[in-house]
Structure 1
Amino acid sequence: MFKDNLGRSVNTASLERYEKLVAKTDKFSMGVLKPILLGLYGEVGSIMSAAKKYHREKKAYVGYKDAVEEEFGDALWYFVALCRRMDLKVPCVFAMHMPQKPNECTELKNQNGASPSKNTTLLYEGGLDASLLRLGRVTADLLNIDKSSSNIDSFFSEFLSSYFQSMSLVGLCFSDVLEKNIEKVSGRFLVTAKELLPDFDASFPEEEQLPRKFEIQITQRKSGQCYLRWNGVFIGSPLTDNIKDPDGYRFHDVLHLAHAAILHWSPTFRALIKQKRKSDRMFDEAQDSGRAIVVEEGLTAWLYSCSKRLDYFEGHDGISYDILKTIQRFVQGYEVEKCPLKLWEDAILQGYAVFRKVRENDGGIVIGDREKRTLLYRSFGDACER
């Protein structure tokens, strides 16, 4: 146990847990340093970029604290990955180089001696700029180290000193940065056991649940209109692409079906099959009705626009973090925000794999299984396929 940059207790077990998390998510070869060093350098640049935006835009830069906190966390990931390659135990490194006194690393203050949390503007004009420039220089020096370097300890000490100093001057706490990055990395890269994933309607009557298994027939008529049929009954309205240059968006309901099967969430699909959770007024109004439907439709349309530039994710085995982060912001305030980003990635990749089949064949049967969290495609008269 030791104190962080703002005097809060840091449990050694938290750093040990983080070290193991980095090991699980580190896909780079343990025998090379350059990708890690370049990654660390890039993340420090992102810290400086976020600070610059705040300096320029002040309150207009919405989400400043979250953005800078995230960049400090990403830099931490690369630093820990570097420690692993140097055969150094992370808790020992931090215990050795953590400031000895709370706020010791905030010695660069403005002329009035104000604390970081009380006069951020003046700090940007003096102390913080100097601290960030120092952090950048120290990180640049790290680019030249290797396992045989005799001054590794000195480099690490300089890096952590400027890292903690900069963090303190923007009013961030290392403990918060650590926990937020654990949450981000776990949700983004690790597969959560199915029994631990959220099931948003399990406690509701069966008639108010999304179907545990479903088959939706999608057909296109000569008019170009697309129809959905569930249990022999047409649902929803016939769709066209509604755009000058046809792009297949008439089949986009496949993506809502992916949300239902894999995320256990789709206010749009609930509305189509009239299985809203009306026994609970709050869920009916806040999670299943107009605004939630608009959020899902808007998100789906935006992501579709992105997918067009990426061949509808054909050949992709992952989704960029920028896209996933935007999705996370899109759904804030709705139950689906509890779904980890890795599950969103799975829903997108499975959904678009089936969408491409439907688009290629002008229809087919979409098969969802909420228990397995899968979405499959079957052409009329054929066996299932992805």
Structure 2
Amino acid sequence: MIARKSDKVKSCPEEDEMKFHAFQEAAHQTDQRQGTDLADIAVHLLGMVGEAGSVATEYKKLLRDGPAHTAAKARIREELGDVLWYTATLATKLGLDLDDIARANLEKTRDRWLLTTAEPFDDQYLLAERLPRTGTFEFVASVSDAGRPTVRVRHDDRWMGDPLTDNSHVDDGYRFHDVFHLGYAAVLGWSPVTRKLMGRKRKSNPEVDEAEDGGRAIVTEEGIALMAFAYATSHNYLDGVTRLDFRFLNVIKDVTAPYEVGVRTAADWEQAVLTGFTAWRALRDNNGGTIILDSARRSLTFVGC
């Protein structure tokens, strides 16, 4: 590692007062290559990579030697400290603040891994303009006059929309995709498509009806359903999958940012997509059936035909 000691180093803050920004400033004082040329940055970048490798090496020794490696904790602490030093000095060279880096990282990881409480967006509206909190939805399979498999959804003895085919050259079961929208309604409390199909758009508030429940929001949700289906086709239709790619979830977050559902996290979307596909696979495998929606449990349950 680069020598970092200097006769001119100022005393560091007390350990219990040390903040990331203070650490960054203190680390900069010990940096023997304080320039910002490409070579200066490259030396520190390679140093960080090397120290990260040292962390792995020490842990490898711990796995190999077990309790006999009595200095493991102290050495891993030292190597992690070196990684932190290089991170701080690189941040300085690149004009970044370590406090801001840490804050942004926590925001990202919380969004990725923590579910929200998912309060409904429409509690203040009349029942006729609210998404269902509970409900039974029958997916009734049939065959069109042209001989193509179709599906139609029924709720409380009322049909929701027209019969759907796969709209594809192959029988891939996409005709059951309305269950994805029910999944979004159950987990996220959001589904402009379900509102349209059930006649529950919030027409009492024209601005909300246009911006949140209108055509653009509906197209956005249908696009998400199609994108999720395309993703799932290369992942065994998410059978046995418990985690989705962060980049995929970020795309969903980006396209839904302008809407009320923009407050939902990537973790919420992950649960919504997985919940929808679990129900979809059951409908596909049984060529239809009944789905019970429960927004309090954020769930869809398949109960058979």
Q: Normalising to structure 2: TM-score of the pair?
A: 0.80
Q: How many residues align?
A: 276
Contact 2:28 2:34 in 1 (8 A): no
| Structure 2 stretches lacking a partner, 5+ long | 1-13, 60-69
Contact 1:105 1:161 in 2 (8 A): no
Contact 1:258 1:348 in 2 (8 A): yes
Contact 1:365 1:379 in 2 (8 A): yes
| Structure 1 stretches lacking a partner, 5+ long | 1-11, 13-89, 111-122, 381-386
- Between structure 1 and structure 2, the one with the greater Rg is 2
Please tell me whether residue 198 in structure 1 is matched to residue 123 in structure 2: no
| Structure 1 letter corresponding to 2:93 | L
| Structure 1 letter corresponding to 2:134 | K
1:164 is aligned to 88
Give me the whole-angstrom Cα distance separating, in 2, the residues matched to 1:189 and 1:265: 20
**How far is 1:252 from its partner?**
0.4
Which region of structure 1 is more displaced relative to structure 2, 344-353 or 249-258?
344-353
| Structure 2 letter corresponding to 1:303 | A
| Structure 2 letter corresponding to 1:222 | V
1:78 is aligned to none
Q: Percent identity?
A: 30
2:55 is aligned to 142
| Structure 2 letter corresponding to 1:296 | E
Relative distance call for 1:353 and 1:154 in structure 2 (3 A) is closer
Give me the whole-angstrom Cα distance separating, in 2, the residues matched to 1:143 and 1:361: 49
Give me the whole-angstrom Cα distance separating, in 1, the residues matched to 2:223 and 2:269: 16
Give me the whole-angstrom Cα distance separating, in 2, the residues matched to 1:349 and 1:374: 10
1:60 is aligned to none
Give me the whole-angstrom Cα distance separating, in 2, the residues matched to 1:128 and 1:288: 50
Give me the whole-angstrom Cα distance separating, in 2, the residues matched to 1:183 and 1:171: 20
2:287 is aligned to 362
Greater length-normalized contact order (CA 8 Å, ≥ 6 residues apart): 2
2:256 is aligned to 331
Name the SS for the 1:214 alignment partner.
Answer: strand
2:216 is aligned to 291
| Structure 1 letter corresponding to 2:88 | F
| Structure 1 letter corresponding to 2:157 | G
Q: Normalising to structure 1: TM-score of the pair?
A: 0.64
Name the SS for the 1:171 alignment partner.
Answer: coil
Relative distance call for 1:202 and 1:170 in structure 2 (3 A) is farther
Give me the whole-angstrom Cα distance separating, in 2, the residues matched to 1:103 and 1:334: 43
Give me the whole-angstrom Cα distance separating, in 2, the residues matched to 1:172 and 1:280: 44
Please tell me whether residue 109 in structure 1 is matched to residue 35 in structure 2: yes
Q: Which runs of 4+ in 1 moved over 4 A?
A: 90-95, 100-107, 149-154
CA deviations 1:65-117 (Å, max 9, x no partner) are xxxxxxxxxxxxxxxxxxxxxxxxx979977x92445964886334xxxxxxx
